[in-house]
């Protein structure tokens, strides 16, 4: 039975108050047989499967992190995770920033490109700062995901630990998240359908797609303002709120067994300019891995630990 990465959603936030840190003994990364970012195996390209019409087939179960290690251990840790590798090769999993005084946290050895962040108008930047002041590590009781609300777009995207089952034909692509923070689905229409007039807003919005060469381009509107763009370890720490005028343009690119997610987010109400997200990668799951039923438990948010100004490096009850 597979062991999925500890989720930094509903479950991990509840654990954050109890678990300060975990050391995981692990050897340093070796030369793996697969290079995820380029979709190659043993130095040879992995063919990209295609539909009858010639477009790439995104169908498959896509997994970003398993058993506490991104990409089955074949991917750089990157800035998306609070799992960091120390100089001796061990892995340090810091749930909420709490570190005992007699065992200081090692300096993080992040890999990858720093994440981009949106540019807020001053009045909304102040609201973001106030929200961030309630954040302890990757948890705050104000985060909509603590109420089991879907993450929305683009936060769902690939996230930190998103497991996505995609089923595609020439008419639509169905995206099914294993835990977003609960089981969530989304339909992207590929049949020329346009956005409905006066569409009602929803968590995942209305998505229509078309192909730009080998890239699936998705236009998303009708998103409500009840989700966040990120927060904690789920994305740039200052990418939080948005209005119901949010408009997202996504680009999904499959190369072999690698799937890349890119997005540009417009919000004329809150942003000073469009936000171009740093591209994110995920990978085709290992043979035998599959989507599993999940359940989101609405956390007792009153017990999430708030930052302690007298102990900026720690927490506690």
How do 60-63 and 215-221 pair as beta strands?
A: unpaired
User: Residue 19: is its pLDDT beyond 70?
Assistant: no
Compute the distance between CA of residue 116 and CA of residue 110 in angstroms, rounded to an integer: 15
Compute the distance between CA of residue 262 and CA of residue 249 in angstroms, rounded to an integer: 8
Compute the distance between CA of residue 156 and CA of residue 316 in angstroms, rounded to an integer: 30
Q: What is the dihedral of CA 45, 176, 82, 248, to 10 degrees?
A: 90
pLDDT-based confidence at residue 27 (cuts at 50, 70, 90): very low
Lowest mean pLDDT among 86-100, 134-148, 149-163: 86-100
The dihedrals phi and psi of 237, each to the nearest 5 degrees, come to -70, -15
User: Residue 36: is its pLDDT beyond 60?
Assistant: no
What pLDDT does residue 116 have? 83
Structure tokens at 311: 């102990």
Compute the distance between CA of residue 10 and CA of residue 202 in angstroms, rounded to an integer: 20
User: Residue 303: is its pLDDT beyond 50?
Assistant: yes
Lowest mean pLDDT among 97-106, 168-177, 213-222: 97-106
What pLDDT does residue 12 have? 41
Give the pLDDT mean for 292-302. Answer: 77
Helical (H) or strand (E) element with 16: helix 10-16
Compute the distance between CA of residue 317 and CA of residue 315 in angstroms, rounded to an integer: 7
Structure tokens at 237: 């720490």
Q: Tell me how many degrees the CA angle 154-294-279 measures, rounded to the nearest 5.
A: 25
Compute the distance between CA of residue 84 and CA of residue 108 in angstroms, rounded to an integer: 6
User: Residue 273: is its pLDDT beyond 70?
Assistant: yes
What pLDDT does residue 280 have? 87
What pLDDT does residue 158 have? 80
* Structural domains in the chain plus CATH codes: 10-295 (2.40.128.20)
188 and 299 in contact (C-beta within 8 Å)?
no
92 and 82 in contact (C-beta within 8 Å)?
no
pLDDT-based confidence at residue 46 (cuts at 50, 70, 90): confident
Which one of 117-121, 134-138, 304-308 scores highest in mean pLDDT?
117-121
Structure tokens at 58: 């995104």
Helical (H) or strand (E) element with 83: strand 83-85
10 and 296 in contact (C-beta within 8 Å)?
yes
Helical (H) or strand (E) element with 122: helix 122-132
Lowest mean pLDDT among 13-22, 37-46, 94-103: 13-22
Residue of 92 and 252 predicted with greater confidence: 252
pLDDT-based confidence at residue 11 (cuts at 50, 70, 90): very low
User: Residue 152: is its pLDDT beyond 80?
Assistant: yes
Structure tokens at 50: 């295609």
- Percent of residues, the chain, with pLDDT higher than 70: 62
User: Residue 106: is its pLDDT beyond 80?
Assistant: no
């Amino acid at each position: 039975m597979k062991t999925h990465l500890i989720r930094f959603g509903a479950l991990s936030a509840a654990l954050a108050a109890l678990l300060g840190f975990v050391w995981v003994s692990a050897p340093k990364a070796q030369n793996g047989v697969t290079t995820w970012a380029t979709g190659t195996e043993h130095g040879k390209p992995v063919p990209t499967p295609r539909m009858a019409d010639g477009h790439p087939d995104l169908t498959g179960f896509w997994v970003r992190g398993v058993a506490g290690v991104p990409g089955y251990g074949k991917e750089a840790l990157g800035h998306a995770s609070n799992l960091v590798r120390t100089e001796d090769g061990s892995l340090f999993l810091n749930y909420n920033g709490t570190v005992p005084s007699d065992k200081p946290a090692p300096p993080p050895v992040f890999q990858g490109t720093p994440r981009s962040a949106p540019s807020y108008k001053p009045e909304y930047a102040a609201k973001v700062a106030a929200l961030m002041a309630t954040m302890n590590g990757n948890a705050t009781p104000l985060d909509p995901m603590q109420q089991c609300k879907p993450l929305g777009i683009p936060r769902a995207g690939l996230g930190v630990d998103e497991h996505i089952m995609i089923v595609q034909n020439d008419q639509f692509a169905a995206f099914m998240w294993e835990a977003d923070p609960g089981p969530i689905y989304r339909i992207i229409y590929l049949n020329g359908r346009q956005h409905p007039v006066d569409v009602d807003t929803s968590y995942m919005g209305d998505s229509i797609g078309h192909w730009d060469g080998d890239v699936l381009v998705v236009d998303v509107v009708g998103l409500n303002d009840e989700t966040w763009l990120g927060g904690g370890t789920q994305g740039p720490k200052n990418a939080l709120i948005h209005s119901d005028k949010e408009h997202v343009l996504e680009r999904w690119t499959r190369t072999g067994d690698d799937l890349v997610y890119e997005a540009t987010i417009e919000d004329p109400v809150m942003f000073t300019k469009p936000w171009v997200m740093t591209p994110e990668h995920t990978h085709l799951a290992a043979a035998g891995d599959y989507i599993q039923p999940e359940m989101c438990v609405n956390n007792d948010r009153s017990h999430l630990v708030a930052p302690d100004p007298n102990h900026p490096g720690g927490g506690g009850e």
